[in-house]
């Protein structure tokens, strides 16, 4: 029997060319996508702004100037668009869900459009001019700086990349730190459970600000065992706007062989003033202890009380 050889027809050749061209096209598309993604990422990382958080004191009727430093870290020119926006701390993210702020009406940027040469630095003057009748309070806004890249195919439609925000926290009026401490409250300072099977322990708490302006909360947690040396940990500092609450999560280190622990919380609000709270928890493998006691009980009954149990069962059977 003769071996048959496959002879491709013109239709087979066309299908082969189509598949081959499709593979080449997809490969080129993937390479282009990677190229532009890497290029965009490089541009995103090429802009540096400082300071990110600007805390200032305003005087009604007197202008205040803030100089924001912007630096182009790339080897290509970079366009920057500056925009004034409100500030809202939704879900504790200070760059989301912007809403109008009265401070934006007092703020002006002389040069909102800037071109940075490669590896160069410039300053953007931001002028805040509160009116003479501005009331004592806390005022907040964000200056967004958006890198802009020109498109060769459509120069009139530039590509705007992820913007960077510089926060302005302004205060009118003198802070009374004693009054501030009275209007700051610590809420829900507690461990996950008062009775823990093992360490480390997870602690959480919230700090609410009912003062007229913002402040910086600096929490310290001290874990003190019934016997042994206490340990103090400084937690992350957070800015808290008036009428808002911030939450902290904290995990202790391994607590050793102690059983009873007291957790003390001190939140520094400035000028030596603190807000205090405390809680307690017990670290004891009680589940293992209960199982051990149950096993001992069964063992004791089976060895020392077995005769009485048998007699009781025989008496019940006899009565029946």
CA angle 147, 153, 154 (to 5 degrees): 60
Q: Identify the CA nearest to 16 among candidates 8, 28, 7.
A: 8
**The pLDDT of residue 95 is above 50:** no
54 vs 298 pLDDT, higher one:
54
Residue 197's contacts (CB-CB under 8 Å, 6 or more residues apart) are: 283, 284, 285, 286, 287
- Mean pLDDT over 188-203 rounds to 87
**The pLDDT of residue 189 is above 90:** yes
User: Could you tell me the residue ranges of all domains in the chain?
Assistant: 43-174, 178-284, 291-319
Looking at residue 284, its pLDDT comes to 82
What confidence category does residue 291 fall into, taking pLDDT thresholds of 50, 70 and 90?
low
For residue 20, the Cα-to-chain-centroid distance in whole angstroms is: 48
pLDDT per residue as tens digits for the range 96-114: 444 567 899 999 998 889 8
pLDDT per residue as tens digits for the range 241-258: 888 899 999 998 877 778
- Mean pLDDT over 146-175 rounds to 70
What confidence category does residue 7 fall into, taking pLDDT thresholds of 50, 70 and 90?
low
d(CA 196, CA 287): 10
Asked if 230 contacts 223 with a C-beta cutoff of 8 angstroms, the reply is yes
Task: Work out the mean pLDDT of the chain and round it to a whole number.
Answer: 78
What confidence category does residue 308 fall into, taking pLDDT thresholds of 50, 70 and 90?
low
Looking at residue 22, its pLDDT comes to 56
pLDDT per residue as tens digits for the range 52-91: 889 999 999 999 999 999 998 888 888 889 999 876 444 4
Looking at residue 101, its pLDDT comes to 79
CA angle 231, 235, 238 (to 5 degrees): 160
Looking at residue 234, its pLDDT comes to 95
**% of the chain at pLDDT higher than 90:** 35
From the candidate CATH numbers 3.40.50.2000, 3.90.1150.10, 2.30.29.30, 2.60.40.10, the one assigned to the domain spanning 43-174: 2.60.40.10
What pTM was computed for the model? 0.64
- Among 60-64, 142-146, 205-209, the range scoring the smallest mean pLDDT is 142-146
What confidence category does residue 19 fall into, taking pLDDT thresholds of 50, 70 and 90?
low
Do you find a cis peptide bond into 51, omega within 30 degrees of 0? yes
26 vs 276 pLDDT, higher one:
276
**The pLDDT of residue 217 is above 60:** yes
Q: Identical fold at 43-174 and 178-284? A: yes
The CATH architecture one would assign to domain 178-284 is Sandwich (2.60)
What confidence category does residue 305 fall into, taking pLDDT thresholds of 50, 70 and 90?
low
Continuous segment of H or E residues that includes residue 196: strand 195-196
Partners of residue 79 on adjacent β-strands: 115, 148
Asked if 46 contacts 73 with a C-beta cutoff of 8 angstroms, the reply is yes
1 vs 218 pLDDT, higher one:
218
């Amino acid at each position: 029997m003769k071996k048959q050889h496959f002879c491709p027809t013109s239709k087979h050749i066309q299908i082969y060319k189509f598949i081959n061209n499709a593979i080449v096209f997809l490969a080129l598309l993937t390479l282009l996508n990677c190229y532009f993604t890497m290029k965009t990422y490089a541009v995103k990382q090429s802009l540096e702004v400082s300071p990110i958080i600007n805390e200032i004191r305003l005087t009604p009727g007197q202008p205040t100037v803030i100089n924001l430093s912007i630096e182009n870290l790339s080897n290509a020119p970079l366009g920057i668009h500056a925009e004034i926006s409100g500030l809202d701390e939704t879900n504790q993210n200070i760059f989301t869900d912007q809403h109008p702020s009265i401070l934006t009406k007092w703020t002006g940027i002389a040069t909102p459009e800037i071109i940075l040469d490669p590896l160069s630095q410039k300053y953007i003057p931001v002028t805040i001019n509160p009116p003479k009748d501005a009331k004592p309070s806390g005022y907040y806004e964000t200056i967004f700086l958006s890198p802009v890249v020109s498109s060769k195919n459509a120069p009139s439609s530039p590509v705007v990349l992820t913007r960077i925000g510089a926060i302005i926290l302004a205060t009118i009026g003198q802070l009374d730190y004693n009054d501030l401490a009275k209007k700051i409250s610590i809420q829900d300072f507690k461990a996950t459970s008062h009775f823990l099977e093992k360490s480390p322990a997870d602690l959480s708490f919230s700090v609410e600000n009912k003062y007229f302006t913002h402040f910086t909360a600096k929490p310290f947690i001290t874990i003190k065992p019934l016997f042994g040396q206490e340990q103090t940990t400084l937690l992350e500092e957070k800015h808290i706007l008036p009428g808002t609450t911030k939450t902290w999560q904290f995990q202790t280190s391994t607590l050793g062989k102690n059983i009873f622990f007291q957790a003390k919380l001190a939140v520094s609000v400035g000028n030596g003033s603190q807000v205090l709270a405390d809680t307690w928890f017990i670290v004891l493998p009680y589940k293992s202890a209960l199982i051990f006691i149950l096993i001992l009980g069964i063992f004791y009954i089976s060895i020392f009380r077995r005769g009485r149990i048998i007699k009781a069962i025989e008496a019940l059977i006899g009565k029946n």
